[in-house]
């Protein structure tokens, strides 16, 4: 991510916190969490999405993303929540400039769902 133009690292609950916070700290960028519904204390924006085994709802503080913010999403696993996070961020006026994951489960076809976005993963696993 060095040299990339962005000002916010998003880390989804909970392992995204583990990977996103040190990246944000080391690159001197803001860190913003996305959490499961009901866990954030201030006014939030939320979105529901489908999982392989059901559905979920995630939230972000409304004031944490401003129009024009350039955002990198950092998570442990590329699975099904990426498109929901992007919709949430873009709904607040942010621009997602990269989705970065430790592990990509190729069988879930996450890259196809995130077509049009820069996507990187450290490990690509063929299963789902």
Which alpha helices (DSSP H) does the chain contain, by range?
15-26, 82-91, 110-113
Q: Which residues contact 22 (CB under 8 A, 6 or more apart)?
A: none
Per-residue model confidence (pLDDT) at position 81: 64
* Per-residue tens of pLDDT for the chain, all 128 residues: 988 999 999 999 989 999 999 999 999 999 999 999 999 999 999 999 887 778 889 999 999 999 999 999 999 988 656 889 999 999 999 999 999 999 998 888 888 889 999 999 999 998 77
Q: Which residues are catalytic?
A: 15, 52
Per-residue model confidence (pLDDT) at position 127: 79
Tell me whether strands 54-61 and 70-78 are parallel, antiparallel or unpaired. Answer: unpaired
Per-residue model confidence (pLDDT) at position 36: 93
Per-residue model confidence (pLDDT) at position 35: 96
> Do residues 43 and 21 make contact, with C-beta atoms less than 8 angstroms apart?
no
Coil vs helix vs strand at 18: helix
């Amino acid at each position: 991510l060095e040299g990339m133009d962005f000002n916010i690292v998003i880390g989804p609950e909970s392992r995204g916190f583990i990977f996103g916070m040190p990246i944000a700290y080391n690159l001197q960028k803001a860190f913003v969490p996305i959490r499961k519904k009901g866990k954030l204390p201030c006014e939030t924006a939320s979105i529901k999405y489908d999982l392989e085994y059901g559905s979920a709802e995630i939230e972000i503080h409304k004031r944490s993303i401003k129009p024009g913010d350039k955002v990198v999403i950092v998570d442990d696993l590329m699975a099904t929540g990426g498109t929901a996070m992007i919709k949430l961020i873009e709904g607040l006026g942010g621009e997602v400039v990269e989705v970065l994951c430790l592990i990509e489960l190729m069988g879930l076809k996450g890259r196809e769902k995130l077509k049009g976005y820069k996507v990187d993963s450290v490990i690509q696993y063929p299963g789902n």
